[in-house]
Structure 1
Amino acid sequence: MTPTISRRHLILAAPVLMTGLGGCAATGGVAASSEGSEAALLQRAKAYWALIRSNDRVGAWAYEELSKDPSATLEAYLKRGGIAFDAVEVRGVKSIEGDRAILNVWARYSLPLLRVRRQESTVEDEWRKIGGVWHHVQRRSSFFPTPE
């Protein structure tokens, strides 16, 4: 049985979906080893958001932390969505602590199913390093439990 998603669910989900955005400008005064990690993070974040903006969710899957979870599937990932991005700009690295990072990302987006157009938001985007490679962390909403 396929769950039905109402217009109200999409309205509630929009801010949660937008929390998945990230940033990409380098910050000054960082040690050389951190600079390499930060540069790699920024490169991956820019590539990821370019794929999302161009609606290439299959390509973006390889950048997702979920892609490393054996219980997650590409099919389930592709069912998430509902946001069309007109523009995305990775604006900076807010913090890097070990294998976790927070980026600042600005986006102009629409929610076509709700006929909501040209919204703008700047959000904190979480990334996690797995096996030495940065991956985007897809935040889950408590309003929409993960299907069993």
Structure 2
Amino acid sequence: MRYWLMKSEPDEASIDDLAHAPHRTLPWTGVRNYQARNFMRDTMRVGDGVLFYHSSCPEPGIAGLAHVSSTAYPDPTQFDSKSPYYDAKSTHENPRWMLVDVVFEKKCALIPLAALREHEALADMRVLAKGNRLSITPVTEAEWTFITNHLM
């Protein structure tokens, strides 16, 4: 099993949206970064743990837990000319962007970015790295265990 931190803007898809979605499942649409896409396409597996992170909001931080519930498949928003995630260079025969589905597990009190920075055990977490803007980053088993056992 692997672990991931997946960022979402709460006005687009929040932990509450995930909790209330049909089957408590959402497709992780709109990723337009090749490294994040490659994580979903090449590395993520069904059952992998997800730290659901609210970003681009007044107080960013971990808002809950989820898990990956599908293998990667083409993101339909790349084909929709009305979508902000439309990609004219992508075709059904050769899709550029992939997604996975995630399933809600648990909502928690928000664990702000500042609180994550306070713990030496999390010092190497990629979300804390200066200049990190990736929407999906791997989380080590030690980081996952520390967060789920000590901060939630």
Normalising by structure 1, report the TM-score.
Answer: 0.31
User: Is the helix fraction higher in 1 or 2?
Assistant: 1
After TM superposition, the score normalised by the length of structure 2 is: 0.30
